[in-house]
Amino acid sequence: MPQAIKYKAKSIIYFEGDVSDKVFILQSGKVSLISTDIDTGMQNRELVKTGEFFGVKSSLGKFPREETADVLVDSVVLVFGVLEFEKLIYANPRITLQMLKVFSNQLRRIHRQVENLLATEEQVNPEKGLFGIGEYYFKAQKFKPALYALRRYLTYYPAGVHQARATEYLVSIEKCPPGKTPAVSPAHFAKGFEGGSSASADAAAYFNGVTLFSAEKYEEAISSFKQYVSANPEAEYAVKALSEIGKAFYSLKKYDECIKHFSTMIQKYSKHAEVGEFLLYLGMSCNAKGDKAKAEGFFNKVIQIAEEGSETKRKAKKELKELGGR
Amino acid sequence: MGLDLSQFDRFKVTFQKGDQIFCEYEPGDAFYLIQEGRVQIVKIIGEIEKMIDILHPGEIFGEMAILEEAPRSASAIALDKVEVLEFNKKNFEILMRGNPQIAMKLLMTFIKRIYDQKRRFMILTLQDPQARVADVFLMLSETQTILQQNETKITDDVVIDATLEDISHWCGLSVAECRQVMAYFTAQRKIETLNNKFLVKNLNDLQRLVNSRRKKD
């Protein structure tokens, strides 16, 4: 059982540097926490509010007290041992949640202070940062993390400042057959498209399609992809372009066309690695049209065939869960 | 970790070896509890991809995203086939009610991370390069001997598992600067360099150096 202990004004509950496993709640009175600022060496004072915990981090983390608890007026304090404190936490998720909020703020703050001291340049905004990660991995020829970061970039910032370059990098990785290294220099890559031969003009059509798609210009994206497919019907990338067309239909909420498109694709490319994704879009379209039973069938099929842990499978599971309303 | 987590199976997500779990700067809305496999935390600092940590089953990562959807501060990559439980704001409450042990674990994770960051901050506020490097060794010795309660053996040799790059990462100085400081410490017979290890001859010595350089004003 926690003990209620009375402290006289001007007494000290604990000193900075003490080691102890006690956690406190201020029940009544006034207690101030005096800590030394790491950066300036100045003393900070912070009042504990009634009902607030103190001494939590050092007792649970088993490190020395980071502040001195100074009693300003006669006060009553509840004292918990670590085990008692754990019991309290187990019984009161709300307290834990509040404490997590406080800690999360503290962590952010100290994190920022560290970053500021380390930073050689000013803070990067997240958009620039995410693109920078993609670009870093692209240039370092680590294409898997590059793909991830660039795709994320285009998902979050479809009309972002670096959208064109992100798309360019992405296409140059995706276009590359497995086992070969894509052209890393963007300049070199761009030259390939401007070459004037019909092959590179078609590649440009694909490239345009991806750009337009991520800019949410779906109609124009569809015509770009169609242009690419009609010029290269047998190319490995034709399937990818076709699948993009289907996705664009979905984004346009043209569900019937999306269903028709992917159904045809599944017949033609039943052995294709991305067949799960085609089925996913079929399911999503059916769902959007209100045909939940059919949608469920498709999602189950995706879960059956898609690779364990793949993005497609995760999405299908999520869709199915939402269908069930759980 | 001896917790029954079967009730959380519906939050289970699998990543294949080499898969990206999340990426630095990406908005985060979930945190993860590792059930199987190892997860590597990396960050691009300047022009270098820096390994920050390797996490094991039972550990939590991405925890900053629980309460606020701020951008991720580092990337997480599956080092093996990894199974995690994925929690977000929505199912977080369920988790807290259903399994207070995890809540406690989360609390402890925060406490440790705050402590680590503060310790790091203390190193970086030192102006003198020698004191900074010395303080990195003190910090590493603290974390490596955290379970030993008393400090009676502080004058003994201490072996620190670290590379020059690690030291450079922690103290925020370039590798070249660190090498210079280490050459000085070696000449002074304070620290010996072994293969990917350092032998600190006398921690008290380093402690005195750090104390004398820490701001008092």
pLDDT at A119: 64
Q: Which pLDDT score is estimated for A194? A: 35
Position B203 scores a pLDDT of 87
Q: Shortest Cα distance from A102 to chain B (angstroms)?
A: 10
Nearest to A60 among B15, B25, B111 (CB): B111
pTM for the structure as a whole? 0.64
Evaluate if residue A199 carries a pLDDT over 50. no
Rg of chain B (C-alpha set): 20
A114–B contact, CB cutoff 8 A: yes
Amino acid at B138: L
Distance from CA of A81 to the nearest CA of B (A): 15
Residue B158 in contact with residue B200, Cβ under 8 Å? yes
Topology given in CATH for the domain delimited by A3-91: Jelly Rolls (2.60.120)
| pLDDT surpasses 70 at A179 | no
Q: Give the number of domains in chain B.
A: 2
Residue A325 has pLDDT above 70, yes or no: no
Mean pLDDT of B104-130: 89
- In this structure, the answer to whether residues B133 and B114 fall within a common structural domain is no
Q: How far is CA B193 from the centre of its chain?
A: 23
Band of pLDDT at residue A123, cut at 50, 70 and 90: low
pLDDT of residue A224: 85
- The pLDDT of residue A196 is 36
**End-to-end alpha-carbon separation of chain A, Å?**
40
Q: A77 in helix, strand or coil?
A: strand
Residue type present at position A269: Y
Chain-chain contact of A145 with B23 (C-beta, under 8 angstroms): yes
CB contact under 8 A, A96 and B107: yes
Q: Which of A43, A59, A104, A162 to mutate to test the interface with B (most CBs of B within 10 A)?
A: A104
- Tell if the CB–CB gap between B110 and A129 is shorter than 8 Å: no
Q: Which of B41, B60, B39 is nearest to B50 (CA)?
A: B41
Domain check: are B152 and B103 in the same one?
no
Q: Is residue B1 part of a domain?
A: no
Q: Would you call B77 and A145 a contact, using CB atoms and an 8 Å cutoff?
A: yes
Please say which residue of B60, B94, B119 terminates a domain: B119
With 70 as the cut, is the pLDDT of residue A182 above it? no
- Rounded to the nearest integer, the mean pLDDT of chain A is 84
Among B86, B119, B152, the domain-final residue is B119
Long-range (24+ apart) CB contacts under 8 A made by A295-300 are A295/A319, A295/A323, A296/A320, A296/A323, A299/A323
Across residues A277-285, what is the average pLDDT?
Answer: 91
Is the model's pLDDT at A12 over the cut of 70? Answer: yes
pLDDT for residue A177: 60
Q: What is the ipTM of this complex?
A: 0.80
Cα–Cα distances (Å) from B96 to A80, A94, A95, B91, B134, in that order, read 21, 9, 10, 9, 41
CATH number at residue B76: 2.60.120.10
Please name the residues between 121 and 150 in chain A that touch chain B, using a CB distance below 8 Å: 124, 126-127, 129-130, 132-133, 136, 140, 144-145, 148-149
Quick one: CA dihedral A106, B89, B70, A151, positive or negative? positive
The angle formed by the CA atoms of residues A171, A176 and A180, to the nearest 5 degrees, is 145
| Contact residues on chain B for A93, CB-CB shorter than 8 A | 93, 96-97, 100, 103
Mean pLDDT (whole number) for B72-99? 86
Host domain of residue B204: 126-213
What are the two backbone dihedrals, phi and then psi, of residue A106, each rounded to the nearest 5 degrees? Answer: -60, -40
Q: Mind listing the pLDDT tens digit for each residue in A86-117?
A: 898 888 888 888 888 888 888 888 888 887 77
Chain B: residue whose CA lies nearest to A36: B216
What pLDDT, on a 0 to 100 scale, did the predictor assign at position B147? 45
Q: Give the residue with greater pLDDT, B12 vs A116.
A: B12
Q: Select the residue of B10, B100, B124 nearest A93 (Cβ to Cβ).
A: B100
Q: What is the mean pLDDT of residues B137-166?
A: 71
Whether the CB-CB separation of B87 and B95 falls below 8 Å is answered with yes
Say whether pLDDT at A74 is over 90. Answer: yes
- End position of a domain, from candidates B119, B141, B158: B119
Distance CA A205, CA A244 (A): 13
Residue A161 Cα, gap to closest chain B Cα (Å): 16
B43 touches B75 (CB < 8 A): yes
Judgement on whether residues B24 and B111 belong to the same structural domain of the protein = yes
B197 is a domain residue: yes
Closest B-chain CA to A315:
B13
pLDDT at position B129, please?
A: 92
pLDDT band for position A174 (cuts 50, 70, 90): confident
Report for A62-76, A179-193, B41-55, B90-104: range of highest mean pLDDT: A62-76
Number of A/B CB contacts below 8 angstroms equals 140
A104 interface with B at CB cutoff 8 Å: yes
Crossing angle of helices B89-98 and A93-118, in 10° steps, is 130
Q: Please check whether residue B95 lies inside any domain of the structure.
A: yes
Per-residue pLDDT tens for A217-271? 888 889 888 888 887 777 767 888 888 899 999 999 999 999 999 988 888 887 7
Of the listed ranges A17-31, A74-88, A89-103, the least confidently predicted one is: A89-103
B104 neighbourhood in chain A, CB within 8 Å: 86, 89-90, 96
Cβ of A88 under 8 Å from any chain B Cβ? no
Mean pLDDT of chain B: 84
Does B23 contact A86 at a Cβ distance shorter than 8 Å? no
The fold for domain A255-326 equals 1.25.40
Among A93-102, A184-193, B180-189, the range scoring the smallest mean pLDDT is A184-193
* Residue contact B172–A117, C-beta within 8 A: yes
Q: Which of B19, B71, B93 sits opposite A129 (nearest CB)?
A: B71
Residues from chain A that touch B16, judged by Cβ atoms under 8 A, are 309
Q: Are residues B168 and B102 in the same domain?
A: no
User: Which of B14, B26, B45 lies nearest to residue A130, judging by beta carbons?
Assistant: B26
Using the predicted structure, report yes or no on whether residue B3 has a pLDDT greater than 70.
Answer: no
Query: What CATH number is attached to the domain comprising B186?
Result: 1.10.10.10
Looking at the fold, whether B57 and B131 belong to one and the same domain comes out as no
Q: Which residues contact A192 (CB under 8 A, 6 or more apart)?
A: A183, A200, A203
Smallest CA–CA distance, residue B205 to chain A, in Å, is 21
Q: Of A69-78, A127-136, A195-204, B79-88, which gets the smallest average pLDDT?
A: A195-204
Q: Which residue does chain A place closest to B44, by CA atoms?
A: A133
In sequence order, which ranges of chain A are alpha helices (DSSP H)? 56-61, 82-91, 93-118, 126-139, 143-156, 163-174, 186-194, 198-214, 218-231, 236-251, 255-268, 275-289, 292-305, 311-324
A73 close to B (CB below 8 A): no
Which residues of chain A does B100 touch, with a Cβ-Cβ cutoff of 8 Å? 89-91, 93, 96
Token pair listed for A211: 């750009």
**pLDDT computed for residue A185 by the predictor:** 46
* Of the partner residues A66, A118, A309, the one whose CB lies closest to the CB of residue B124: A118
**Confidence category of residue A198, pLDDT binned at 50, 70, 90:** very low
| pLDDT more than 70, % of chain A | 89
B35 with B93, same domain: the answer is yes
Q: Where are the beta strands (DSSP E) in chain B?
A: 12-15, 20-22, 30-36, 39-45, 48-55, 60-61, 75-78, 82-88, 158-161, 191-194, 197-200
- Amino acid A200: pLDDT: 53
pLDDT at res. A146: 92
Report chain B residues whose CB lies below 8 A from the CB of A149: 20, 23, 26
The rounded distance, in Å, linking the Cα atoms of A44 and B118 is 16
In chain A, where the domains are located: 3-91, 255-326
Same domain? For B23 and B115 the reply is yes
| DSSP structural state of residue A197 | S
Q: Which of B16, B71, B113 sits opposite A309 (nearest CB)?
A: B16
Q: pLDDT band at residue B4, thresholds of 50, 70 and 90?
A: low
